[in-house]
């Protein structure tokens, strides 16, 4: 039986969370010290630990079938690669920043300036869309130092918390794109491995859904059921069960965590008591 070949970042911000989502999907990976390829013991999966910037090339060449990488890298090098699922972690943005004392305040001020970046394709496309002609300096690593040494007037780089920019006396003037980790696949993936990909996606989506939703339980007066259930933006119809005291019922539903805070006061005003919020381990819809 074929195994689906998954590329993960060898080290860095995507590595640990990628392994964690596999673990949450019930997939066991024994990652020994400095191993570059390992197999799952309970799923037809091989994991390749690769340098992040090399992964799009391996997908294009069909050396691996799927990968977890950032959207920013796909935007730079991943033409033709298929995004199968956004994973919700390692969120960042690609932004243009300038020194705090710079007179560059907006995109139009970049005309005829020099910009240092590790994302030349992304930056070039952005400048062309805004009809800006600027000189691009390609730097691999430590891009933020370029203005301080007189190499460039601005930088285009990944921003997460913004602390690196702050520490180098830089300020953002424009976000080019927002990014998060995605599961993507080779344009040449075959039928058998596509079936395995769909099995993996089913598990991943169950894990991701569980993070967004909570299980909600409450006791409520029987004569308030219609009012209370009308307040619940959950999935389909809530479950209503009688209690020993016939004047009360128990109401169960699944609700998005953020939505709960919008309705909790209204639930209490309508007589709901003993409200419980429980985590969900997996959820399949």
- Domains in the chain, please, with CATH? 4-89+180-189 (3.40.190.10), 92-178 (3.40.190.10), 213-279 (3.30.70.120)
Q: Is the dihedral of CA 209, 214, 217, 221 positive or negative?
A: negative
Which residues in the chain land under pLDDT 70?
31-33, 234-235
- Whether the Cβ atoms of residue 65 and residue 185 lie closer than 8 Å to each other: yes
Give me the pLDDT at residue 33, please.
Answer: 60
- Among residues 178, 180, 158, the alpha carbon closest in space to that of 97 is found at 158
pLDDT digits (tens, 9 = 90+) for 102-150: 999 999 999 999 999 999 999 999 999 999 999 999 998 889 999 989 9
d(CA 259, CA 252) in angstroms, rounded, equals: 15
pLDDT at 261: 84
Helix (H, G, I), strand (E, B) or coil at 85: strand
Closest CA to 135 of 107, 154, 160: 154
Q: Is residue 84 within 8 Å of 26, Cβ to Cβ?
A: no
Tokens of 182: 């995605």
Report DSSP state, residue 274: E
What is the chain's Cα-based Rg? 25
Q: What's the DSSP call for residue 78? A: -
Distance CA(240)–CA(229), nearest Å, equals: 9
What is the reported pTM? Answer: 0.84
What is the per-residue pLDDT for 13? 78
In this predicted structure, what is the pLDDT of residue 64? 97
- Using DSSP's 3-state secondary structure scheme, residue 30 falls into coil
Which tokens hold the place of 111?
């005309």
């Amino acid at each position: 039986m074929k195994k689906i070949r998954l590329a993960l970042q060898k080290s860095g911000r995507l590595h640990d969370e990628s392994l964690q989502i596999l673990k949450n999907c019930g997939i066991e990976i024994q990652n020994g010290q400095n191993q570059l390829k390992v197999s799952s013991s309970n799923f037809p999966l091989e994991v390749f630990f690769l340098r992040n910037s090399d992964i799009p090339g391996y997908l294009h060449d069909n050396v691996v079938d799927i990968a977890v990488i950032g959207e920013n890298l796909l935007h730079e090098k991943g033409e033709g690669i298929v995004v199968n699922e956004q994973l919700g972690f390692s969120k960042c943005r690609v932004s243009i920043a300038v020194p705090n004392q710079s007179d560059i305040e907006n995109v139009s001020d970049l005309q005829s300036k020099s910009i240092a970046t590790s994302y030349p394709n992304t930056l070039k496309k952005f400048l062309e869309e805004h009809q800006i002609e600027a000189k691009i300096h390609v730097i691999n690593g430590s891009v933020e130092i370029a203005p301080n040494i007189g190499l460039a007037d601005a930088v285009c780089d990944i921003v997460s918390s913004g602390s690196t920019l702050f520490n180098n006396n830089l300020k953002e003037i424009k976000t080019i794109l927002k990014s998060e980790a995605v599961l993507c696949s080779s344009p040449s993936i075959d039928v058998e491995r596509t079936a395995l990909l769909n099995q993996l996606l089913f598990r991943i989506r169950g894990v991701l859904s569980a993070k967004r939703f909570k299980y909600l339980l409450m006791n409520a007066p029987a004569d308030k059921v219609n009012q209370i259930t009308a307040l619940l933006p959950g999935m389909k119809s809530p479950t209503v069960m009688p209690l020993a005291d016939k004047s009360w019922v128990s109401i169960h539903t699944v609700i998005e965590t953020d939505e709960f805070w919008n309705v909790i006061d209204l639930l209490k005003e309508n007589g709901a008591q003993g409200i419980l919020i429980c985590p969900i381990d997996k959820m399949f819809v």
